[in-house]
Every structure is written in C-alpha cells, then in structure tokens.
Amino acid sequence: MDVGAFVQENRRWLLGAAGGGIAWLIGSAIVGSIYDGDAAWAATRGITRSAGDAQLYDSSVLSAAKAEADELAKERERLRSELVFSLSPKYTLPAQGAPDEYLFQVGRALKQSIFDGANERDVVAADKDVGWDAPTSVDEIRGVLFGLDLIDEFRTRLFAAHDAVRAARPEAIGLRAIQLCKLDSRRSSRTTKTTRPGEVDLRDLIVQERVTFQFQSDEETWVRFVESCRQPGRTLVLESFQVQAPARIGEPCSVKGVLQGITFK
C-alpha cells in the first residue's frame, strides 16, 4: 500500500478527527450566543420584547434562523458522538479506598499486560518507554486514570491490528516494536489562563488527555490501527500522525504521533 495514497484518501478523517472538536466548540458558541446571550442581557436589564420588536423579523427569517439552529444542534451532537471517549469503569476512581493505591494497582496491571502481549507476539517493548507522571492530588489521579484508559485502548487496538495482519499473512512483519507510549504531563494544564469577555475556555467544556506514541510496523498494520481509532463512544482522536517509509524493502515503517481522548463536561 502506498503511504501517500492512504493519507490522500483519508485526508478528511485524519484532519477532521483532530479539528472536529474545534468545529463543535465554534458551533456551540454560535448557538449559545444567539439564544442565550441576548436573553440574558435583556433579563438583567428588565427588558422584554414587545410585539413591535417581533415585527422587525418576518416569519421566513425566523423560520430560517430556527432551521439553522436545529442543524447546528444536530451537527454538534454528531461531532460529540464521534469524538467522545467514555471512560471504562476500570479506570474510574472508586468511591471507597485510597486513590493512590488504586492507581498503583491499575497502572501495574496495565504495564504487565503491555509487556505480556508484546512478548507473546515477539514485539520489542521496554519499561522505560511506557509511563506517566506520578500525580499528587485526587484530581490528578483521575486524569492519569483517564490517560491509562487511552494507553489500554492504544495497546488493544495496536495488538489487534498486528494479529489480524499475521492471521491473514503469517509471513507479514506486523508490529515490530513499541518504542514510545507515554501520557503527556498534566502540569501545563494546571496553569491559570485568563480569558477575555466572550472567549471560550476549553477547560470549561471538555476534559482531554494526550498520549505520545511511536512504533514500528508494516504498512497494513498501521493502516488497520488508524482505522480502528474511530469507534462510537471510545474514539481515539489522532492529533498528529507521521509515517516514515523504511530505508530498505522488507523493513518496517516508523510511525509516531499523538492521540487524545475527549470527554465533555
């Protein structure tokens, strides 16, 4: 399979997955500003619309505005359903017990499953290349658990792509090595950001975590992995994705990128 052809054919998905969240926010802001901003402004000043105000807009204009608002609402829900990553119960902090102990147990089990799966498939993976920061608060623990859920899905779908390729062609390279799989630091997200009037702060609307990855595989394996990223309710958004062709025929490609999971508040 030609790498350039794949990227060209899937340009809408590769770019749309990363930019879909932005489109949703823009649409939401437009709808909110039209239907909430004017009403709130008028309410604070004791202003009510009179019959004369309604005459400024004829029925066709009002109908068109309502139809457009309905379409924006539908598009917002469509984007939301395609982008959302719903946390599994395993990676949700339980109400009882010590949060740090729970994170330690879940993290240790996840690392073990990664290395066990790699060994079963003769895939190279090192402990130093898989990791995440040590959290210091309950909120940070929740964020890391979210990130571990993303890493678990990355592992599951990458191994599944390898297994499917090798099942069809036992002589195929499949997945050769996992060179990097790390949860991005959350420290930068804790910095205070001042927003201007009317500006949308993404942190008020969504929660997101990022995982930086790098692996070596044949073309069919990474193509299958990319195709598996979009799943209703559990989408891995590819924020960036790069493929370096092998230097010689018969060697694996080098693939690296950043994926993120998004939940909506």
The domains of the chain are located at 5-82, 85-264
Architecture of domain 85-264: 2-Layer Sandwich (3.30)
Going through 157-219 in order, the beta strands assigned E by DSSP cover: 175-183, 206-217
* Count of C-beta atoms within a 10 Å radius of residue 67: 10
The SS3 of residue 140 is: helix
At 80 the pLDDT is 75
Q: Which tens digits make up the pLDDT trace of 231-262?
A: 989 999 999 999 999 988 889 999 999 999 99
Q: What angle do CA 13, 234, 201 make, to 5 degrees?
A: 75
Helices (H), the chain: 3-9, 11-32, 38-44, 51-54, 59-83, 99-120, 138-168, 219-228
Q: Which tens digits make up the pLDDT trace of 182-237?
A: 999 865 455 555 666 766 666 677 889 999 999 999 999 999 999 999 998 999 99
What's the burial of 179, exposed, middle or buried (CB within 10 Å: 0-12/13-18/19+)? middle
